[in-house]
């Protein structure tokens, strides 16, 4: 009798499944109420946003903001991965900030899991030195309105007659 209860065929199947498994990570970026989910897998440098190329981000003024992590780290770091991003919630600006955070976090997570710790540390340090919000979400949220005024803090003007 053999000491292991797993049949040989099952072990072969498991090793085949391990070899065929796609190298991928899924991370999210947030800003206010906008959430961007980035699915990063081994590929050839494709970056898509809601199914369209990232070059077509609107408005054009904020397009450079989306490209910041790519320009900062260089195209060669993104050449080994494909990133697909879904974004919803918030406004234009919040969505753009959520997207750039998702791209940055996806690359860091991919390099940590599938490449090596040294290059991951390099990427992370470079991104953090440029802008910490590329890796860490901004915790600020909109404060709720209260009674006795038109907003969260402002009060209606006081009158004596």
Q: What is the dihedral of CA 38, 102, 33, 61, to 10 degrees?
A: -110
For position 5, what pLDDT does the model report?
66
Q: What is the pLDDT of residues 11-62, one digit of tens each?
A: 666 667 666 778 889 999 999 999 999 999 998 989 999 999 999 988 889 9
Average pLDDT over residues 97-115: 93
Query: Considering the entire predicted model, what is its pTM?
Result: 0.83
Between CA 84 and CA 106 the distance in angstroms is 10
For position 156, what pLDDT does the model report?
95
């Amino acid at each position: 009798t053999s000491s292991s209860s797993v049949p040989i065929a099952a072990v072969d199947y498991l090793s085949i499944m391990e070899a065929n498994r796609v190298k991928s990570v899924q991370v999210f970026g947030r800003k206010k109420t906008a959430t961007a989910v980035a699915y990063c897998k081994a590929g050839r440098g494709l970056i898509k946003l809601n199914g369209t190329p990232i070059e077509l981000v609107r408005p054009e003024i904020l397009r450079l903001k989306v490209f910041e992590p790519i320009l900062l780290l260089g195209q060669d770091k993104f050449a080994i991965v494909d990133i697909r991003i879904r974004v919803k919630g918030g406004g234009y600006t919040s969505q753009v900030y959520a997207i750039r955070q998702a791209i940055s976090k996806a690359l860091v997570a991919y390099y940590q899991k599938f490449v090596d710790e040294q290059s991951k540390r390099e990427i992370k340090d470079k991104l953090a030195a440029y802008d910490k919000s590329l890796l860490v979400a901004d915790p600020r949220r909109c404060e709720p309105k209260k009674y006795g005024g038109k907003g969260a803090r402002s009060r209606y003007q006081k009158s004596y007659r």
